[in-house]
Amino acid sequence: MRVVLTLAFFALAEPLAAQTYAIHAGALIDPARGTVERDQTLVVAAGHIKSIGPHPEIPAGATQIDLSREWLMPGLMDAHTHLTLTEVVGGSAPFESFYILESTAYRALRGLHNAVGVLAAGFTTVRDVGNAADYAMDDVRRAIDAGWYLGPTIITSGKIIAPFGGQSHGIPPEQGTFWRYEYFDADSADEMRKAVRANLYHGAGVIKLVLDNNRYHYSVDEIRVAVEEAHHAGVPVSVHVYGGEAADNAIEAGVDSIEHGFFLTDAQLKRLRDKGIVLVSTDFPRAHLDIIGTSGGILPPPEVLAPKIIDRLRRAHRLGVHLVFGSDTVMDVEGRSRADLMFDYLAVWREAGVPPAEVLRAMTTEAAKLLRIESERGRIAVGLAADLVAIPADPLADTENLRRIDFVMKDGHIVRPGPTIVRP
Ligand SMILES: [Zn+2]
């Protein structure tokens, strides 16, 4: 009998109790080593991987899942999302529109919609780095943690911390400082410490700073305050920076990751590598740049920026910088899901010459280390959470195959059943 399990809309009347499964995988990918083992069986119970092998002992009553024609690998991670955000695009409205026109409640609903959607596509963990209104994403995380919805593991940053002005430009003085709906203005060591603590209070799992949005930027000492305060709480610091002196200061201060870094020089990339600082490269494909534009004139036009982004990723990879996948998708396109748009970034990695095995690592094991969850997620290993995806074609041959993920398991719950015959 063919029984297909599916959870419509992933909204749960009752929190699910994870069942016991025996998953038969035709090919099991280990992204850390870029290797494949054939015909392996995983036993999953209570949300975790209990055993792996060609013939492990299968507990009585386990549900059998047949993925013998599929490639099984750890769930994907995106270290740079903004799931509550959609920029008003097409040059029709200023950057600030999304936080003037939309309430925190509405933003939380969009965040939940996108979180559920990206999980179904295979992203079992996301790090959401701000632009989430007044802590909207923290409430999405709580709703998922409470078991009301099946969603990805979400690591939030709370509000973005920046020198005066957030990421806005040219707001008339009589409008006040309304950007503080989405940003902290922190302009001294004390204000920095307070902003970090407020985010930690609301549940931040990463502290996000914006460094080069204006003619002024943070000193090494100011960034060090954030690093010290965040690290004391066991939380990494990620910084939005394109390059120049602001990037030098971040590297010197010992942040954990640089986000974007489009204009980093080889010398800066080498310092990143030597200090173990991760580049979350957010490699916008040309078609996305054409839609979102130049970020208020801060970035060069798409025809100039797109090749720079590819070149920067190629240089970073050649120099051996630690790379983690982060998309920074901030828009909606009719007929395409948020996850579709996230997968578009893989084309840039391909163009920059990063081999598929390394891309998979940047989306799993390397991401888990940056997110400080490597003891729980990011690998298929006994004792780790059962965050799994399967694909009917080999992603080590072509990362485009990741778009075809048809089986998703999150913490031992089936999100998408795949082409499988599930026998009770
Ligand atoms: Zn971003």
Compute the average pLDDT of residues 278-296: 88
Q: Quick count: other Cβ atoms within 10 Å of Cβ 187?
A: 15
Average pLDDT over residues 136-146: 97
- From residue 259, give the alpha-carbon distance in Å to each of 78, 211, 247, 255, 278: 12, 10, 10, 11, 9
| 423 confidence band (pLDDT: 50, 70, 90) | low
Q: What is the pLDDT of residues 30-75, one digit of tens each?
A: 999 999 999 999 999 999 999 999 999 999 999 999 999 999 999 9
Ligand 1 centre to CA of 132 (Å) is 11
Q: How far is the CA of 142 from the centre of ligand 1 (A)?
A: 22
Strand partners, 334: none
How far is the centre of ligand 1, averaged over its atoms, from the C-alpha of 326 (Å)? 9
Q: What is the pTM of this model?
A: 0.95
Q: How far is the CA of 187 from the centre of ligand 1 (A)?
A: 21
Residue 45 contacts residue 59 (beta carbons within 8 Å): yes
Q: What pLDDT, on a 0 to 100 scale, did the predictor assign at position 400? A: 98
Q: How confident is the model at residue 275 (pLDDT cuts 50, 70, 90)?
A: very high
Assigned token pair, 82: 């903004």
Residue 421: pLDDT band (50, 70, 90) is low
When pLDDT is cut at 50, 70 and 90, the band that residue 410 belongs to is very high
Task: Please give the pLDDT value at position 5.
Answer: 44
Q: How far is the CA of 404 from the centre of ligand 1 (A)?
A: 26
CB 32 within 8 A of CB 384: no
- The pLDDT of residue 92: 59
Average pLDDT over residues 361-365: 98
**CB contact at 8 A, 312 and 378:** no
100 pLDDT more than 90? no
pLDDT above 90 for 143: yes
Ligand 1: centre distance to CA 80 (Å): 6
Cα 52 to middle of ligand 1, angstroms: 37
**Helices 220-232 and 189-201 meet at what angle, rounded to 10?**
30
Ligand 1 centroid from CA 78, angstroms: 12
Q: What is the pLDDT of residue 101?
A: 85
For residue 310, the model assigns a pLDDT of 98
- What pLDDT is stored for residue 277 in this prediction? 98
| pLDDT score of 174 | 94
**Residue 11: pLDDT band with limits 50, 70, 90:** low
Over range 78-99, report the average pLDDT. Answer: 80
pLDDT mean over 281-299: 85
For residue 328, report the distance from its CA to the centre of ligand 1, in Å: 5
Q: Counting beta carbons within 10 angstroms of the beta carbon of residue 166, is it exposed (0 to 12), middle (13 to 18) or buried (19 or more)?
A: buried
**What is residue 3's predicted lDDT score, i.e. its pLDDT?**
38
How far is ligand 1, taken at its centre, from the CA of residue 155, in Å? 14
Distance of CA 57 from the midpoint of ligand 1 (Å):
45
Whole-number Å distance, alpha carbon 7 to ligand 1 midpoint, is 31
Residue 184 Cα to ligand 1 middle (Å): 16
* 373 Cβ neighbours under 8 A, 6+ residues apart: 125, 153, 155
Q: What is the pLDDT of residue 88?
A: 66
Per-residue pLDDT of 243-262, as tens digits, reads 999 999 999 999 999 999 99
213 CA distance to ligand 1 middle (Å): 13
Q: Note residues around ion ligand 1 (Cβ under 5 angstroms).
A: 328
Where does the pLDDT of residue 91 fall: very low under 50, low under 70, confident under 90, or very high at 90 and above?
low
Look at residue 422 in the predicted model and tell me its pLDDT: 56
C-alpha 418 to ligand 1 mean position (Å):
32
424 CA to middle of ligand 1, Å?
Answer: 44
**Is the pLDDT confidence value at 212 over 50?**
yes
Mean per-residue pLDDT, 357-381 = 98
DSSP 203: T
Distance (Å, rounded) from C-alpha 292 to C-alpha 307?
A: 16
Given pLDDT bands bounded at 50, 70 and 90, which one contains residue 227? very high
Confidence of residue 12 (pLDDT cuts 50, 70, 90): low
Residue 136 has pLDDT above 80, yes or no: yes
Cα 392 to middle of ligand 1, angstroms: 32
Cα–ligand 1 centroid distance for 327 (angstroms)? 8
Tell me the per-residue pLDDT of 291-345, one tens digit each, with 9 for 90 and over: 887 666 778 999 999 999 999 999 999 999 999 999 999 888 889 999 999 999 9
Distance of CA 16 from the midpoint of ligand 1 (Å): 33
Q: Where are the beta strands (DSSP E) in 75-165?
A: 76-81, 123-128, 153-156, 160-162
* Pairwise CA distance, residues 5 & 166, whole Å: 46
Ligand 1 center–CA 385 separation, angstroms: 28
Distance (angstroms) between ligand 1 centre and the Cα of 82 equals 7
Please give the pLDDT value at position 20: 96
Q: Output the CA 81–ligand 1 centroid distance in Å.
A: 7
Tokens of 154: 């979400």
Give CA–CA dist 160/30, Å, rounded: 35
Q: Poorest-confidence range of 147-156, 191-200, 325-334?
A: 325-334
